[in-house]
Structure 1
Amino acid sequence: MNHDGGITEVLPVTCLATWPRGSFVESVAVSASGAIFVSLHTDQMVVRIDPATGAVSPFASFPAPTTGLAFAADGTLVVTGGAPGTPPGLVWRVSPEGAVQQVAEIADAAFLNGLTPLGSRMLIADSLGSRILALDPATGAVETWLADPLLGADPASGAPGANGIKVFGNMALISVTGADRLVGVPIDQGRPGTPEVLAEALRADDFAIDAGGSLYIATHQAQSLLRLAPDGTRTTLAGAGEGMVGSTAVAFGRTEADRTAIYVTTTGGTWTVPEDQLEEAKLLRIDVGQPGAPLLGED
């Protein structure tokens, strides 16, 4: 791992919810109404958390491990999953009542991961395929949107390649965890341009973006939350002492009450620390003083 955390300016952190040691809490998404949804990879389910009380309730169960979460343009929750390293990759839609419908089975995808809306489609990171897929969640139609060596991991890293993905303005931003880099891909009328490396020495899992273009990055193995400003300045906002052990994913609140807050999921160290040092998996809340950027890209 090659990670530069920059300077450190710790912000207050609140723990909203916890799960037992060994739980792999993988992703987080916030609905337009403010409800928080979290994927429990090890439990093959998605749970719903009340942001005001931290109350956790079961939402949907799946036939395989769950990975990425994101809301489509029509407000439907879309979930990626499957057994990592074993095809096929699976994608489901989940109704507001928690009914699960499989919409795609991708035979040559062994590890579907983060996803984000781009117009009516979803861009999905294929972590072992060095590519980004484009899926129509209404029909299940899927195509390779971009394949490039920059999206692949260093085989010696033991970490995924393309992992988190978000769209900001006319650019898709992609964290390539096992290569310690952030890649940017220009978008023109829904199609990708030539990818470029935007940052290196950066152990990045999932991330969220504020309205000014700063990224808030879960660094997973680096056990922290890092802010990457548009000018390249790096600031570690919270570390292991603040609960960021095995930080996996980040999402902004979407209501007036939490529009400047981010929610961060952690594994408590599953996969990253010795078993006798495992902590509970957590959902953490941090107010960063800036609202999140719009979630929908322009197709």
Structure 2
Amino acid sequence: MAREMPLGIALLLLTVLLFKLWAEDLADLFTQSEVKSGLFKMLDPVSTIFQLERNGNIFENLMVSHSGAIYGTRFDAPEIWSVDPEKQTGYRLTIIPGVRAVMGIAELRPNLLVVAAGNFTPGSYQIWKIRLLPNTPAIKQVASIPEANWLNGLVAWDSDNVLVADSIVGAVFKINISIGNYSVAGSDVDTMTDGTSDGSVPPGLGINGIRVHDKYMYFTNAAQSIFCRVKINDDAYLFGHVEIIASGFSQDDFAIDDDGSAYIAAGDQNSVVRVTPTGNVSTLAGSLGAMDLAGSTSCAFRRDATDRRRHEDRAGKVLYVSTSGGVWEPVNGTAIEPGKIAMVHFVRELK
């Protein structure tokens, strides 16, 4: 005669079965080649999307347009490049005349890019707009900022205005692209300059990358190795006390995720570092002795055709990273390569 299974054993077997199904489902999420990196799981090794031709060719910054195309600026030449991440091809989109380098870049509206450019000398910095057309893009200078000493990171505020950081002055300018007017949106000697105040040494680069998220402007400071935020009002002016969120690692431009975490190009550390809103710091990808992200300069998340970032799902997240190729700080003291656009494919830690 059949005997009924005790309830406790039945519950135990059910738990084991459910765990097995969950584990099998989880295994589908990660490939056999996954690499653990702090609070992340890499779904693929870091890969190169596109690389420039020669050592000393440098991608300074990048952004991803509403269509998914990548646009990169050149530090060593007055050029903007277009990169197709699917075909893994790239070409020079346009040249900004009369300058030596193109720095920050943003998409103000669909098919309208804005860049900061200059000659590495005080008073030479300008803001240009690039309208993407079916054949040749139309470019136009919209503002010259004689007060600027080193324009750097740039971010769109709305459909008419951008914010751009001045790394030497230690300030943020607000520029109206439609009429060319500009004003100082905010400044802070303690956190936006290089931290030297007596003028005894040439100034270094202070505030570098800037992003806006949830009523705050976030920024990196290259010379001081600090990551900060400050409140920003509805008219794009900074106010209140600057908060230092994290410090102690190399910092260039960065991307902000929907949860407020920053993914920062760590420059001569040849990596991308994640900083959570509470200041926890961990390495996402790359390492000091590796060429994968040699001289990382900026980061941007992949976007889809509906103008949204691809939120984390079973396909994970994709972060594009621009690099200098390690030209300023060679990897292991000697190794350099041409600048490139790399791809980091990962998922965040499981909750």
Give the TM-score taking structure 1 as reference length: 0.88
Higher RCO structure (Cα 8 Å, ≥6 apart): 1
**In the alignment, is the contact (CA less than 8 A) between 1:10 and 1:238 conserved in 2?**
no
Deviations 1:204-243 (A, max 9, x none): 1000011111111001122211111123221112224251
- Stretch of structure 1 that moved more, 109-118 or 84-93: 84-93
Aligned with residue 136 of structure 1, among 158, 176, 185? 176
Unaligned runs of 5+ in 1: 1-5, 291-299
* CA distance in 2 between partners of 1:24 and 1:109 (Å): 23
User: What CA distance in whole angstroms lies between the structure 2 residues aligned with 1:81 and 1:106?
Assistant: 11
Look up the match of 1:3: none
Say whether the 8 Å CA contact 2:41–2:346 is kept in structure 1.
Answer: no
The alpha-carbon deviation at position 72 of structure 1 amounts to 1.1
The structure that has the greater radius of gyration is 2
Amino acid at match of 1:187: I
**Number of the residue aligned with 1:192:** 238
Deviations 1:76-123 (A, max 9, x none): 100101012442211100011322101111112121111111223111
Unaligned segments of structure 2, at least 5 residues = 1-36, 311-316
AA aligned to 2:91 is: S
CA positional deviation for 1:159: 4.5
Q: State the partner residue of 1:167.
A: 212
Match status 1:14 vs 2:52: no
Match of 1:279 in 2: 337
Alignment of 1:89-128 (within 5 A): 89-97=125-133, 98-119=137-158, 120-128=160-168
What is the Cα deviation at residue 41 of structure 1? 1.9
Partner Cα distance (1:15, 1:159) in 2: 31
Alignment of 1:263 onto 2:296:
no
Partner of 1:54: 88
What residue is the counterpart of 1:295 in the other structure? Answer: none
Amino acid at match of 2:155: T
Once the two structures are superposed, the pairs formed by residues 183-222 of structure 1 within 5 Å of their partners are: 183-190=228-235, 191-194=237-240, 195-222=242-269
Aligned match of 2:192: 151
Deviates more, 1:143-152 or 1:158-167: 158-167
Aligned to 1:27: 61
Report the Cα distance in structure 1 between the residues aligned to 2:180 and 2:213, rounded to whole angstroms. Answer: 24
- Indicate if the aligned counterparts of 1:9 and 1:235 stay in contact, CA closer than 8 A: no
Matched, 1:88 2:129: no
Say if 1:224 and 1:245, in contact at 8 Å, map to a contact too: yes
In structure 2, relative to structure 1, the CA distance for the partners of 1:133 and 1:99 (3 Å cut) is same
Report the residue type matching 1:116 in the other structure: V
Runs of 4+ aligned residues of structure 1 deviating over 6 Å after TM superposition are none
**Identity over the aligned pairs, expressed in percent?**
28
Distance 1:54 1:159, change over 3 A: farther
CA distance in 2: counterparts of 1:197 and 1:185, whole angstroms? 9
Residue identity matched to 1:91? I
- After superposition, give the CA deviation of every residue in 1:96-151 in whole Å (9 maximum; x if it has no partner): 13221011111121211111112231110011111000011111111001011110
Closer/same/farther in 2, CA of residues 28 and 157 from structure 1, 3 Å limit:
farther
SS class of match (2:251):
coil
Q: In the alignment, is residue 44 of structure 1 matched against residue 91 of structure 2?
A: no
How far apart are residue 203 of structure 1 and its match? 1.9
CA distance in 1, matches of 2:284, 2:120: 30
* C-alpha contact 1:92 1:103 (8 A) present in aligned 2: yes
